[in-house]
Chains A and B, each alone.
Chain A
């Protein structure tokens, strides 16, 4: 009962936050720019063109009416037309969103895979050599500017070692000569559906560097959170009891202590996912990754506000929904969460 009430309350709050987000995006994208009509009308517009644009954009309507139109359009996934390309934004999103999500999910997985075991090891060797090394590594990972790390990784793995591709999402041979049929938009999955292992491998090698770049910060955070949670857990009685029962140290660390650290791990998933969505703006430019980040950065240069607004909305919705799911999972795993 408590649980249900908690879930309902959390869902309601998320819905409220989304309305607020819509409002904020509306204000920033529609009200702050000095003259949206001039932007819409294109370069060096005549007075008539601007006037026509004002009408098309409905700029003369009162603000509440304009917000209502905007919110309605967002709710029905009608993001309008790009000022610059005159294409339907929703159509562009359909291609770019999966690319960004694929990167975000993959890098989140990578961050957990790197950060959590290192956190466990650091906690097990608290104060020791491995702990110091991991702890410093996590601070460095958190302080590293994303765009700088991206370039270093490119330099090492693509330029010097030549073992991973420099940029892009697929090799030219595959992307142009034998494109993957788009089913889900996730290349890894589409390649498997098509049963083309070489394309799968190709997509995977292209994913590694950008995903590693995005994983660095959340892996650092994951390591720290796991470490402090594990240090506390390792002092609990049942761990002492497990030792006294002669269980092996790895079994105690990963089988008995780590499952108690589910809470921090879930927090890290949310954080990591959010970071990947945001960091995508920087990383996708550097790795020429055809996703939302690159899409929005091009829109920034062109002052293409409908695109910027649409991307902000979509990404924020993903983020809010993700956080909602995590909170609910956390409450399901540990009912105490719902009570606080």
Chain B
């Protein structure tokens, strides 16, 4: 633990703390939110659009719901969104990358050219097209983003496998007649899995950022479920007079995305640093 914190440096540690804080908020939203009922969507018309105050720390929305509570509940949607996008993408990308890298030849060519097609789209546009075709909704938006996301993991996994394939123990296993299936499962997957998992964990930030963009466009979860991107969009009608409605959830998205990227940066930087020192 101490080692990890040392590796992260202070910005990375702060970022990690912020990410963990959001995870806690997501897990315990009903207990943390000051107004759990409003967080879950119940209206509170007596306090429509009130500015931040002692009662409502971050103000209320057009139905009088406490924005802090809505954000707390929205954390659940955003984090699961991010995690699911990354998980689905790994589920598609990892096998494709493994197969392309391991078998090489025409399998590689076919799979990677197919992957190129997905990479040829500007990502958000393909996600928008997908989401529009599937219709709005939580799971649909996850699928829509995952469709644009998996090619990166396919490429990453392939690159890792290409390195591993030349390793003596893999070649030895191949020569001694171990089945491809077993080699991939026993030797390649564990070694590729680790760097890919780290990358995937860090990608939760950008993934939820993209998901937020979709729900800002009205292609995410449906109301009354709280969602940050949708809150920013809903608050736009009252912007800038009632700035808090849009600004608070917008700021929240920024903070969590920033935390993920500072964290990723800290990890990468330290890695590079040790590599240089040992060289």
- For chain B, the count of residues having a C-beta within 8 Å of the partner chain is 46
Q: Which of B204-233 contact A (CB under 8 A)?
A: 205, 209, 212-213, 216-219, 229, 232-233
| Per-position 1/0 for B236-250, Cβ under 8 A of A | 100110010011001
The smallest C-beta distance from A215 to any residue of chain B, in angstroms, reads: 16
**In the complex, chain A residues whose CB is within 8 Å of the CB of B258:** 139-140, 143
Per a CB cutoff under 8 Å, which of A25, A145, A285, A320 touches B212?
A145
Contact yes or no, A300 B128, CB < 8 A: yes
- For chain A, the count of residues having a C-beta within 8 Å of the partner chain is 52
A33 to B135, CA, bound (A): 8
Contact yes or no, B218 A320, CB < 8 A: no
A141 to B253, CA, bound (A): 13
- A330 contacts chain B at the CB level, 8 A cutoff: no
**In the complex, chain A residues whose CB is within 8 Å of the CB of B122:** 274-275, 277-278, 315-316, 319
Per a CB cutoff under 8 Å, which of B229, B243, B260 touches A155?
B243
Q: Beyond A144-B254, A145-B250, A147-B213, is A316–B121 a contact (Cβ under 8 Å)?
A: yes
The smallest C-beta distance from A153 to any residue of chain B, in angstroms, reads: 11
**In the complex, chain B residues whose CB is within 8 Å of the CB of A23:** 117
Contact yes or no, B125 A315, CB < 8 A: yes
Contact yes or no, A25 B120, CB < 8 A: no
Contact yes or no, B209 A312, CB < 8 A: no
Contact yes or no, A300 B132, CB < 8 A: yes
**In the complex, chain A residues whose CB is within 8 Å of the CB of B246:** 148, 151
**In the complex, chain A residues whose CB is within 8 Å of the CB of B134:** 32
A29 to B126, CA, bound (A): 11
Q: Identify which of A14-22, A71-79, A188-196 touches chain B.
A: A14-22
Majority DSSP secondary structure for residues of B touching A: helix
A18 to B250, CA, bound (A): 36
A-B contact pairs, 13 of them (CB 8 A): A16-B113, A143-B205, A144-B257, A145-B232, A145-B257, A147-B229, A278-B125, A281-B128, A300-B128, A300-B131, A300-B217, A305-B133, A312-B128
Top 7 A-B residue pairs of the complex, sorted by shortest distance between their CB atoms = A20-B117, A148-B250, A143-B257, A278-B122, A32-B133, A143-B258, A278-B124
- Taking Cβ atoms with an 8 Å cutoff, the residues of B that contact A are 113-114, 116-118, 120-126, 128-134, 205, 209, 212-213, 216-219, 229, 232-233, 236, 239-240, 243, 246-247, 250-251, 253-254, 257-258, 260-262, 265
- Taking Cβ atoms with an 8 Å cutoff, the residues of A that contact B are 13, 16-18, 20-21, 23-25, 28-29, 32-33, 139-140, 142-148, 151-152, 154-155, 159, 274-275, 277-279, 281-282, 285-286, 296-297, 299-301, 303, 305, 308-309, 311-312, 315-316, 319-320, 323
